[in-house]
Each structure stands twice: as structure tokens, then as C-alpha cells.
Structure 1
Amino acid sequence: MFTGIDEVDWASLRHAYGSAEDVPGWLRSLASADAAERQTALDGLYGAVHHEGNVYDSTLACVPFLGSLAVREAVPDRVCVVELLVSIGAESDDPRAREAVHAHAEVFVSLLADPDARVRRAAAGAVVRFLDSPGRVLDLLRQRIPAERDDRVLLALTQALGLCARLHPAHTAALDVLAGQSAPPHGPGLRLAALGQLALAAPDRLPSDLVPTAVRLLRDRSAHRGRHPERTGSDTLVRRIRRLRPSDEEGAQLLRTLHTALGDRADDRTALLTGQLTSPDPLDRCNAVWMAAALFRGWRTDCAGPVSLLGAQLGTDHERLRDAAVSVLAELFDLAAPAADDLHALVSARPDLWTHRWERGAPTLGGPLKALARAGDPRAVPVLAQVLAGAVAPVTLGYEIAHLGPAAAPLAPALRHRLGRIPLDSPAADTPAAPLLSALEAIGDREAAPEILRLLSGAPDGLGTRCAVAGRAIGTLDALGAAAQAAPVLRDLLHTRHAAAAAGALWSADGDASAVLPSLLRELTQGEPDSRRLAVRQLGRLGPSARAALPELRRRAGSGHAGQRTSAACALWHIGRDPEPVLPVFRAAWSDSPRTRGPIARCLAAMGPAAAPLRDLVTAELAAPRRHMAREGGYGSHDIARDEALLRSCAEVLAGL
């Protein structure tokens, strides 16, 4: 296995953390009889030699020895070795890595008939990826399928056929095999897998009754699957994360493949979800909940029906399913309204779910109550009042109350009381203050002005937490229209790092632009980055009175990142009312940075007919099936709500043209 390993000058090779002289020890330990030693070695190889998918010269030097280990039946955990080889060759952009693993493709061919089913599963896709002859690959897979007796390996072989069909579209024989596997007498799981691969490689070969067929196969598969009781025990973060994962990962993968292949066919995906969410099997329904989450996050579709079915899962006795449905509903905000009755029923029946406390840590608002509040349902208000009255309310509670807007007015006295109790000398005053200020602002509670003013007493000019409290307090006074009561304090702050916020609030109070314009112009050119950004917005609020800022705003609109250019262009419009320098900035930023579309659309709505040259962008956005953030690779908990707000702004733009 290790012939020649000592002839390699490992000390001269490198991995993620320096010299690779420790690599031969890890390679040898992969063959150890000690499981802990093998795991330590595997961690070292993944963590250093193949760190985050990267390839180093030491990675390439490892490949021959990993190939030798993979074919030795006496080596324990060979599947881990095979998976590492596949990862090195398939998941890296380095062509040297693919060539190195490609040179050992016959290793994977020999492993197709390995006694270990886990090794056979890992080898199936590797043969497709690393063996150059598509015809031979197809022959190997076709020969192996009738001989295979392990259902999971059969699924892997089917996935390998699909990969072969996608990589080598001229070899249509792979599609013929998949089409055969999608029909009787094959079992429901294999047929579902074949349908998913056909959908990815050749959607024109799918049956016309794809959705009802898939739903029927799913239920047939579930009827023959063993039942696994839920584990109980004290709640921990790890246990909760595991509970939120689908326990039928194989079924989840089968349906995930089909949903992925259907892509923008949202109607078909919704019909498939409906079938999944009405399955008699709770594991199928749990998988469907996460499929629904993926659809809602990425696509703009009528989700009222599936959301109602998500709500129907809240009455189940299956804790995993209920928690999953609650978690998804909490991401939907207003779109969760069709499930509001079910959320309210759960909140009413289970006071123990109003808050949640981990084994370590502060309490948080429970998922059902959070989802009900985020949906804007006023029935959350009496329950939130009881939570607020508790000895230890969740610190972030105010952020969720804010989603109720004026409907949460009965909570204002309790919120003011808590705000007034925050110790001003606390180094962490911003942590409880920010959510309370957010809630009071959303409610529109002007009676909170004294408690907010208290936060400004002796407002510091440094960079600490108390400084952040002061900035938030000024913004809240401004939004509430209560800045006049704080005018003396705000004037004193015009010469501090709070100048931009204070200037905006003072202008809101008395409309005297001459009193605040010098401060805003100074912050625009000399302030810290956050202060400059805020100064741009405040100058836009001043409108034509801020014409002195136009030269600097034009400069900012022509340079910097997309967000800076967009913000400056918005201010240019509000001040100069000239669309000519503004619209080109908007068009470029709209395409370059989807995150700017919300503020751009809001400005276009304010522009009225002057926004007409960008009608095409707005019309295309409203017609696009995917959410504007769906292709950025990440997902934020508020992305759905932001996208829905963008659509509302776009509709407002068209209405004003």
C-alpha cells in the first residue's frame, strides 16, 4: 500500500498549514485498526491536504497511496478513502487534481463489484467522472445494475446514469436505461430516482402525468419503509438541529432532485408539494416542508395552498414535523397568513412554546409565536403582553413586535417601561434598547419620547455601544415626529459623530435646512463611512434645499460600490429632480447588484413619469419567476420579505407611469 511513500520528499511539499511532513503519518494511519486514529488521520487530510476543497502539491502526491488503500479490502472505512479521492478529483477547479485521480480510474472500476456496499455506492459516480470512455462507462453501469441487490447502491447507479447522460448527451442509451427504470416492475424508490434523472437530463422523455405518478410512487415507497420512533430527551441545540433535518434523507434526496429538475415549473412543483404535504406518512410531509422552503425562498409563486398545508402540520403529534413547519412559516412573514389560524391554535394550546430556553443561554421567542407575530396577526398581541410581563422576556422580542405595527399599540406602555429601566452606564445597553426602539417606532408611540430622550443624556462621541444607542434613539425620535422635544440636545450633537442623524431629525422638526446643511455637507466629505452614508440619505430628504451637495453627490454616483452609487443617485433625484444623471446609475446597479433593486424601485416610484425609461427593468422584474436574491448563493431570513416588498414597489412604479 505504501511502496515508495518514503521516497517522496514530503518536507518540501506544502499543505494548507505549511510543510507536508506530517502527511505520510496520516496516510499510514488510514489503515490502522484503531478507529480514533483513522478518524484523526482523515480529519488531518481534509483539514490540511484538501483544506476547503483546495489542492496542493501534497494533495497530488497523496493520490496514488489513496488509490492503493481504496482497493485493499482489509483496510477499514475504505468508503472514506474513496470519497476523499472523489472529492479531490471532482470538487476542485485545479485540472491537475482531476488528471491525478483520472490516472487511477481503474480503481473505481474494480470497486463497482466490491463486497462493501458503501464502497460500491461511492464508486458508481466516480466511474462516470473519471473514466474517459463513455461507451465503456455505460456498459459497466448496465452490467452492474441487474447484478446489484442493495437498494441504495441501485439508486447510486441510477444517479450515475443520469450524470453520464448529462456529461455525454450524444450517448442516448443512458436515457433508454433510465426510461426503463422509471417503469414497472422496478420498485417505487428506483422509479422515483430514474424520473428525477430523466427530468435533469431529458425532460422531454418524462411522462405527461409526472406529478401524480411521482406522488403515487412516493406513497408506495413510504408504505414499505420501516418506522423509526422519535428520540426524546432534554433539548439541546445539536438535538434541535438534528430534529429539523429530514430523517428520511434518501427520500428527501429523491424529491429534491425532482424539484431541482423542474426548476421554474412552479405550478408542477406546487402540485408535487401538495401531494407530499397530504401524504399519510409524516416523514414524507417533513421532507415536503423543506422542499416548500426551497420553493418559497427561490421562486415567486402562489404559495397560499402549500402554506395552508404547512399550517395543517402544526396539529401533529410528530415533534420533528411540527418544528420544521414552524421554522419555515417564520421565514414567510406576511405570506404565512393562510396558516395564521393554525399558528394561533398552536400558540393558544401550548403556552410552553411561547418562549424557548436552551440548556445554556438566554430565552428566545418561541417559533409559533414568532411566526404569528411576523405574519402581522393581531391575535399575537395578548400573548406577547404576557411574555413582556414575565420576569425575563427575550431580549430581541421588540423586533418581532415591530412586525405588528400599530396593532401592537397595547404593548407600548410595557415597552416604554422596559426602555426606561435600561441602565445608561451599561456597556451592552444597545442589546436591549435596539429591539425596544424598533417596536416603539413601528407602533408610532410618540409618548415614548421621554424614555428615548433619556438615552441621549450625555450621548458619547466615541465608538462604543452607548454611541450606537444614541444613534438609534435619534432615528426613532425622527421617525416618530418627536424630534422637536429633543431639539436642544440634537443641536449639541451636530458637532459629534451623530451629526448626520441629528441634522435629519432637526430638519424633520422645524424644516430649517440652513441650520443643518453645513453639518451634513461636512459629514458627506469628512465623516466616517457610516456617517457619510447617512448624510447622503439625509441630504436627499432636504430636497432642493440641499443643492449645494450636488457636485459631491454626482461624484459619489459615479464611483464606489453599487450601493454607494445607488444611494447617491437617489439623493440626486430628490434634490435636483433631473433624471438624466440618475437613470444610468440605476440601470447599471440593477443588473450588477440585485440588493440595490429595493431602494432603486422605491426611488423610481417617487419619480413618477420620469422613471419611464426604466419601465423595462420593472416589467421584467414583475414577470421574473425567481426572487431577485435567489441566484446570489446565500439566503437571509428576511430575503423573502424583502423580495415581496420589491414586487410591491415595482407595481407602484408602473402605476405611476
Structure 2
Amino acid sequence: MMTGMTPDVRESMTALLALPSPTPDDVDWAGFEHFYGRADDVPALLRGLLDPDPETAERSLATLGNRVCHQGGSSAPAALAVPFLIRAAAGPGVHGREGLLLLAAQAVRSDRSGQALRSDLLRVADDGDSFGGPSPEAARAAVLAGVPSLLPLLDDAGPGSRSAAAFALATVSPVGSPEVAAALRGRLAVEADPVVRICLVLAVAQLALDHGDAAEVVAWAGDLFGGEVHPLDVRFAAGLAWLCATPAAPPEPLLRLLLAGAGAAEAWMRRVPWVSQQLDHGMGAWLVALLGDMHEFPLRPDPVGRPAAEGREAAGRFTAALTTHEDPAVVVSACEAAARQVRMWRDETGAMLELLAECLHHPSRAVRSAAGSRLARCGAVPDRVADRVATVLDHDDDPELRGWAALTLAHRGDARAVAPLIDLLTAGTCALPEGWIWMDRTPQRLLDLMRPHAAALLPAVVHRLTAGDTDGWRHVRQDLVAGLSSWREDAAGAAEALARLLGDAEFDRTAGHASGHKAVATALGRIGPAAGVAVPALDRLAAGVAVPALDRLAAGVVVPALDRLAAGVVVLALDRLADGTAPDSLGTLLWARWRITGEETSATAAALARLAAVPLADVTALSLLADMGPAAAGHEAVIRGRLTDSFEWARAEAANALWRCTADASGALPVLTELVDGVPWAPLFGAGHGTVVGCLADIGPAAAPAVPAMVAFLDRDRRPGTDGPRHDPVSWDQHAVATVRSAVHQIRGGPAPREVLAAADGG
């Protein structure tokens, strides 16, 4: 092996397999790395697999699997472990035989992070796979060498081991596939367990596809699913194999089969290793994604040559059929499938929202909840759907369902949302369950479009802000703070409650992706002079002085030290910048104070400029300088210095700041135009895109060269995704479309339609 560089795992595998009876000590593990560092811990874990104590063996397997095959990726140590995994699995009395076989197969495969595409499901990793490099090739060599040990396991007493053996054997390279395929077919003829039969069908199909025999799979699978001769599980698996073997639109008999089997198949497929990790939202949602050959969060371009329109049309029809299924669990999954299509495709929005609206009146409460929660994440629904949602408020007393309905209507700025939002915010316990990941956390954007109803809602909002984070209200309070920012001066009635949050360390700690103090200060700054009650708290935070008891703040008591601090807070902040002890939110705190008081303009601009001058720094300071406008023009040199930043959104904010502070379109336009043309709008429309588009709109006709790229964005059907945890993809895309459309109108010299401007402002 070479010294001074990582050895070639394929060469190491060849040497290992050439040994008559290799042991873990025959591998130079220290020369390789797994996902947690050097692999010199692997030999002990491999020996632990053979421990007579089942708990020790299980622990060793779990630790080994996490380190060598992590989040869908494989590694060189995973490949080198395969011979030992197969030997252990073939041994008598071993603990966790199924898990050993699954890990051996995972070393060869890549799960594409759960892509579930027809073109990926029955495919192993290859040399060019971004997850594995040359490791899958080495692992396949080990599986091929282990075929004599694996084939007898197709007759193991445990059905889980038989399924896992089929999964591992399906990764054998083409040179060994004829023998393996014959064994799989032979076992299929006598197998009684439905899950194992599904695995055997998929394994036979995968071997043939890997050998280039797609036509053979199409014919064989068509014969299996085409009649009533075979059990439903075999026919269902054959239908999946057919889909993976051809890009052709599925025939109606296949769609009817998948529909009929959707309920029974879920219990089976959760034990099928090809699919088990992809069923978090149920069989219906997975089947729809497979039929459409699409993934909600694509990590790579769509497969070349796939008939996307045909696949999507089939997926849409199948979703509609699933919503009529007799099994409520299937209908719940269909609701997720419908919502996914809304999140992915602009053109699918109307039909899928109609399906969700129909499910609001399903006999099953689980279905009604699923439909309501999905609608609440689908942006501003059209009038007809909104009317159906409003009937929930008239006929359903369930607090959760009423909460989802209120949130859905609030995303339209609908007056019918006011009363139920007040009920939601003043209840003792939050009626809406909190999601377990940030993309599902609820609720979001309660207030953003409800500014016309601010007076009616403010008492309930203030109550919620001051009542604490107990009983599931944590994310709601964070969303309310962000929403108040969009109300600007109309949120003045909440200024004292917001000021209290500036002293709430727990609120700041639990804010997650954004600093709580920063979000609160932003809301106060946008309120402006009416938020004067918050100035002492802003000063304390900016200067790093401990916040006194909240009751003292509410009573308007300011300690003597703060009296002395207030007059020179920005100067003191500049000193803290110089010695590197300033808090991360300092720029926002100083900007908010300036927006409220109008004081110390020059010093505030100087502090923001010093923050903005830091290479690779957060771009917030640049956006705050832009908000100061001509008052920050004296720091043009700092702003221009960031126009060539390596971070594209720093360049965006710098160009925006240059225009707003100096009105120099000639300096800003080249950067802005390059960003529109050169930075993809997918997979997301980010905050930086909004900055670029908004600045181009204000520049006006001189920005005409950027219009074609913006028009192309408007013409695309695929939604570009979400820019962060507070926006669902649909509402954010609606905001993005409104922003871009408004910009195109302004650049072309005409006023934007009123409804476009309103939607853009609401985002």
C-alpha cells in the first residue's frame, strides 16, 4: 500500500479476498477513514458482532453501521467490513443476522437520501456515486466472493434474514447474477411469506436491470402483475419492478393494482429494505412520488428522457383515486401526496387543493386533521377552497381543526380568520401539534397578511407573547414576533410585550435558526418611534449590561447606569467592536435604536459599517446600512469593498446598499444583473434573490437586461423551494412570484397591479 496517502480500497479488497481465511487484523484500518474519523476502531466492532451476549452484539452492529454507512452514504471501511459481515451472518447462532446482511448490502448501495425515483430504486451505487466513490465497487467484489455463504441464507428459518439475504444478493455484479437469479427464482416458487416474496421479486428485477435486461424485466413483471394467478404481494412487487424498468406511463391495470394494494402493502413494505426508510408519510405518498418519478427536494437534475408530464399526470390521477380509498390511513397519506405536489409544482396547485378541501369533511378525524394541516402549509388558497375551509369554522368544534382552518385563511389575509385566531392565541394550550423537524414546525406566518386586522388581533397577540413558552407555544411566539415585523407601525400596541422578550433569555435560547433578540429587535425597529418603551432594553443588550427584572422594565424604572449609558451607547458599542466582545445581534440592536429614536445617526452608521467591513461576516449589517439610506453614504468605500465578496449574497446586499445609500446604479447594476443571470433560482428562491429583485425594481428601466431571467423564473412550473424555517415552500414561492412580477412591471415602466404589490409586501 502507498504511504502518505489513502490506499485504494479496491486494491486492499483484492488482497483481502486473496487470503484463505482473512481476519480483521489483515486490514490496515488506520489507513482509512469512516464518517467519524480513523477506522482503527472497526476491528473491535467486528469482533463485537460475534459476542455471545445479544445486547453487546447489537450495540456493536449499531455503532459500526452508523460509523461506516451514514445518512445514505458508504465508505471504504464499510466495503472492507463486508467479508466479515457475510461470514458472521452465515455462522450458526449469530445474533442479528438480518442486520448484518442489511449492512453488507448498504455498503454497496446508496439510498440517494430517500429519492424513491423509478430510475433509482433498483439501482446500486457506482464508481461515480457521490456518496461512495470507489467503495461500492470494492463492496460488490466482496459480495460476489460471499455468494456461496449467502445463497443458503435464502432458506434461513427467519423471514427477516431471508429478505435481507435477497437484498444483499441483489447487489451482486453481473458476472455472478445468473447463478444468483436462478436461486432467487427458485426460492420465490416455494416462499410463503409475503414480505420475502416481495424482496425476491425486487432482487430478481434489480439483477436483470443491472445486467441491462430492462426489456426482460418489463415482460416478466407484466406477466406477474397482469392476472389474478399470483398473490397480491407478488403482483404488487411486480408492478413496482415494471415501473423501475421503463419510463413509460403506467397502464391502467397497474394503477388499479397499486390502488387496491395500497392498504395491505404498507405493512409489508415497511419490512422491505428497498423501501422501508421512505415510508414516513405512508404508502400513498411514496407511490405517488414513485409514479411521478420525482422528489420534493431534488439533489440532482431530473433523469434525462423521463416523460415528466406523463408521470405527473399519472401521479395526479392516482392521488385523486387514493383520496377515495376505504382505508383512512391511505387517505391520510394521499393528503400528504397532494400537498407535496402543491409544494413542487405551480400548475398542480388548484387540483390538489380541491382534493384536500374535499377531505376536510371525511368521516375520519385523522383524515380531516391531515387535510387541514396540509392546507395550512399551502400558502394562499383560492376563493373556492377558502370557502370550503371556512365551513370547518361553522360546523366543527375541534380546536385543532379550527386552528388549521384559521391558519389557512390567515395566509390569505381573510377576515374570517380573525375570530378563530383570537381563540387560538388566547387558549391555555396550543391546539396545533408541534412538528418534530423545522420544515414541519407549526404554525407559520399567522400574522404576515393579517395587517388590515391588526387592531382586532393585537390584544390576543400581546397575551400570547407575555404568557410564556409552556404548553406548546414556543414556535407560535417566535412566529408572532416575525409576523409583527410585517405590521410595522401597526404593531405599536405590542411594543412593550416585545421589549419584555428582549430580557427573556429562554426565548432567545429556543429561537432556533435565528437569534431571538435579533428577531425582536427587528420587529421593534420596524415599528419605529412608537416603540420607544423598548429603548432601555435595547441599550442594555447592545452594551452587554445585565437586564433587570421585567417588572422594573414594565414600570419604566431605568437604573442610573443606564441613564449614563443611553447617551453614548453607540460609542460604547464601537469600543466593544474594537475589542471583539460585541454580541452577534449588535448591528440589529443599534439599527433598531436608531429607527426608534432617530438619534446618533452618524455613530450608528459607523458601527454598522465596521460590522459590514469584516470579511465573510454576516450580511445583516449591509442590509441595515441599506435601510439607513443616504445617512450611510459616508461609508461607500466599505460597501464597495463587499461588491467582490466571494459570498454571492454579500455581493447582493452590498449592491443594494450602494444603490440605496448613494443612488449609484452604475456600480450596483453589474453585480445585480450577474446575480440574476448567474445564480440558479432553484432549488430555492432565497432572501438574497428578494434583495436583488427589489433593488432592480427600484432602479427601474435601467435594469432591463435583468428582465429575461426574471420572466424565465415566472414561467417555470417547478417551485424553487423555501429559503428558511419560517416559510413553507408554497407561501414563499407565492411571495417570490409576486415580488418578481412587481419588479418586471416597474422595470418596464408601468405600475405593478395592486394585488401583486400587496402579496409582495405580505411576504
Please, which of 605, 614, 619 is the counterpart of residue 520 of structure 1?
605
TM-superposed CA distance for 1:82, in Å, is 1.2
Does the CA contact (< 8 Å) of 2:719 and 2:733 recur in 1?
Answer: yes
The residue aligned with 1:541 is 627
Answering whether residue 312 of structure 2 is matched by residue 266 of structure 1, we say yes
The one-letter amino acid of 1:617's match is: A
* Structure 1 Cα separation of the partners of residues 645 and 444 of structure 2: 38
Does the CA contact (< 8 Å) of 2:140 and 2:173 recur in 1?
Answer: no
The residue aligned with 1:236 is none
Does the CA contact (< 8 Å) of 2:167 and 2:203 recur in 1?
Answer: yes
The residue aligned with 2:45 is 23
Greater per-residue helix proportion: 1
Deviates further, 495-504 or 612-621: 495-504
Residue 381 to residue 616, structure 1, CA distance change in 2 (3 Å): same
Alignment of 1:419-434 (within 5 A): none
The one-letter amino acid of 1:577's match is: A
* Structure 1 Cα separation of the partners of residues 183 and 681 of structure 2: 46
* Structure 2 Cα separation of the partners of residues 611 and 306 of structure 1: 37
Residue 6 to residue 306, structure 1, CA distance change in 2 (3 Å): closer
Residue 87 to residue 581, structure 1, CA distance change in 2 (3 Å): closer
The one-letter amino acid of 2:523's match is: T
SS at match of 1:559: coil
Answering whether residue 193 of structure 2 is matched by residue 176 of structure 1, we say no
Please, which of 284, 292, 302 is the counterpart of residue 338 of structure 2?
292
Does the CA contact (< 8 Å) of 2:345 and 2:718 recur in 1?
Answer: yes
Please, which of 103, 106, 110 is the counterpart of residue 87 of structure 1?
106
Answering whether residue 147 of structure 2 is matched by residue 101 of structure 1, we say no
- Cα shift readout 1:313-343 (whole Å, capped 9, x = no counterpart): 3333434433433332232232486554554
Residue 87 to residue 188, structure 1, CA distance change in 2 (3 Å): same
Deviates further, 305-314 or 155-164: 155-164
Answering whether residue 670 of structure 2 is matched by residue 580 of structure 1, we say yes
Gaps of 5+ in 2: 1-19, 111-130, 269-276, 295-306, 435-441, 539-565, 574-581, 749-763
Residue 348 to residue 542, structure 1, CA distance change in 2 (3 Å): same
Does the CA contact (< 8 Å) of 1:111 and 1:119 recur in 2?
Answer: yes
TM-superposed CA distance for 1:130, in Å, is 1.9
Does the CA contact (< 8 Å) of 1:550 and 1:576 recur in 2?
Answer: no
TM-superposed CA distance for 1:524, in Å, is 1.9
* Structure 1 Cα separation of the partners of residues 721 and 266 of structure 2: 39
Alignment of 1:206-355 (within 5 A): 206=249, 210=251, 212-221=252-261, 245=280, 249=283, 253-260=286-293, 263=308, 265-335=311-381, 339-341=385-387, 343-346=389-392, 351=397, 353-354=399-400
Alignment of 1:402-421 (within 5 A): 402-416=448-462
TM-superposed CA distance for 1:456, in Å, is 8.7
Does the CA contact (< 8 Å) of 2:693 and 2:739 recur in 1?
Answer: yes
Does the CA contact (< 8 Å) of 1:406 and 1:442 recur in 2?
Answer: no
TM-superposed CA distance for 1:414, in Å, is 3.8
SS at match of 2:222: helix
TM-superposed CA distance for 1:120, in Å, is 3.4
Answering whether residue 417 of structure 2 is matched by residue 384 of structure 1, we say no
TM-superposed CA distance for 1:565, in Å, is 1.7
SS at match of 1:129: coil
Residue 472 to residue 224, structure 1, CA distance change in 2 (3 Å): closer
Does the CA contact (< 8 Å) of 1:483 and 1:506 recur in 2?
Answer: no
TM-superposed CA distance for 1:274, in Å, is 1.1
* Structure 2 Cα separation of the partners of residues 500 and 635 of structure 1: 22
The one-letter amino acid of 1:573's match is: W
- Cα shift readout 1:203-228 (whole Å, capped 9, x = no counterpart): 23x45xx3x44442244336878999
The residue aligned with 2:693 is 601
Please, which of 121, 126, 141 is the counterpart of residue 163 of structure 2?
121
Residue 117 to residue 89, structure 1, CA distance change in 2 (3 Å): same
SS at match of 1:558: coil
SS at match of 2:227: coil
TM-score in terms of structure 1 length: 0.76
Does the CA contact (< 8 Å) of 1:82 and 1:119 recur in 2?
Answer: yes
- Cα shift readout 1:122-174 (whole Å, capped 9, x = no counterpart): 33343332233276265555555555444333433443355345534366322
Does the CA contact (< 8 Å) of 2:714 and 2:740 recur in 1?
Answer: yes
SS at match of 1:628: coil
The residue aligned with 2:206 is 163
TM-superposed CA distance for 1:410, in Å, is 0.8
Residue 617 to residue 188, structure 1, CA distance change in 2 (3 Å): farther
- Alignment size in residue pairs: 612
TM-superposed CA distance for 1:191, in Å, is 4.6
The residue aligned with 1:358 is none
* Structure 2 Cα separation of the partners of residues 449 and 385 of structure 1: 16
- Cα shift readout 1:542-590 (whole Å, capped 9, x = no counterpart): 5456443333223212113222122112223333122234322443334
Alignment of 1:445-464 (within 5 A): 446=490, 448=492, 451-452=495-496, 455=499
* Structure 1 Cα separation of the partners of residues 96 and 218 of structure 2: 33
Query: Please, what is the CA RMSD of the aligned residues?
Result: 4.8
Residue 501 to residue 130, structure 1, CA distance change in 2 (3 Å): same
* Structure 2 Cα separation of the partners of residues 325 and 444 of structure 1: 33
TM-superposed CA distance for 1:285, in Å, is 1.4
